[in-house]
């Protein structure tokens, strides 16, 4: 059952009014993401871009101590490339790529059943074009940048936006 977590405006890096559930079916507690920059990525295990999990994990390791969180959002809308159960997805990501960043429950990112998260992230209603599209959200929960699937996780463009959103090193 989906548990709802209603967030006030600007609370954590999670967009306001959005409930999140992790891959294990547990409610994501927004307070643990207070003052974080979040990179949401719709992911899939059988995609040509699946190898980006490696770069996403490296990006997470590089910036997590400064406040970056990567949230993988499994989605099966693009060629059925994420058919696995939650346990299969978690095992695949851990075993093959050492993923330690959070993974949310599988959800639709487009169409009539677009998840509340993606409705909030994409205010203009534009569709996600493919797996591994990236959406960067600032510390107040506002979408500040969107990157196509072809953007490598460690690309200069993406890392510059992340660094700007994180602010100065402490």
Active-site annotation holder among 47, 59, 70, 75 = 47
7 vs 78: CA distance, rounded Å: 30
Residue ranges of the domains in the chain?
36-165
- Tell me the pTM: 0.90
Q: Has 47 been annotated as catalytic?
A: yes
**pLDDT tens per residue, range 37-53:** 999 999 999 999 999 99
Superfamily per CATH, domain 36-165: Glutaredoxin (3.40.30.10)
12: region left, alpha or beta (phi > 0 left; psi from -120 to 50 alpha): left
Structural tokens at position 60: 């997470």
150 vs 3: CA distance, rounded Å: 33
What pLDDT is stored for residue 16 in this prediction? 67
């Amino acid at each position: 059952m989906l548990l709802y977590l209603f967030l006030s405006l600007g609370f954590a890096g999670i967009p306001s009014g959005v409930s999140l559930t992790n891959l294990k079916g547990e409610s994501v507690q927004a307070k643990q993401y207070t003052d974080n920059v979040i990179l949401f990525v719709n992911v899939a295990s059988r995609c040509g871009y699946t190898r980006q999990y490696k770069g996403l994990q490296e990006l997470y390791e590089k910036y997590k101590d400064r406040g970056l969180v990567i949230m993988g959002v499994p989605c099966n809308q693009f060629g059925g490339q994420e058919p696995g159960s939650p346990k299969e997805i978690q095992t695949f990501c851990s075993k093959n790529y050492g993923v330690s960043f959070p993974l949310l429950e599988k959800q639709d990112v487009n169409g009539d059943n677009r998840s509340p998260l993606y409705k909030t992230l994409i205010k203009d209603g534009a569709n996600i074009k493919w797996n591994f599209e990236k959406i960067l959200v600032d510390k107040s929960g506002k979408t500040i940048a969107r990157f196509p699937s072809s953007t490598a996780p460690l690309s200069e463009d993406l890392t510059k936006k992340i660094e700007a959103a994180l602010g100065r090193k402490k």
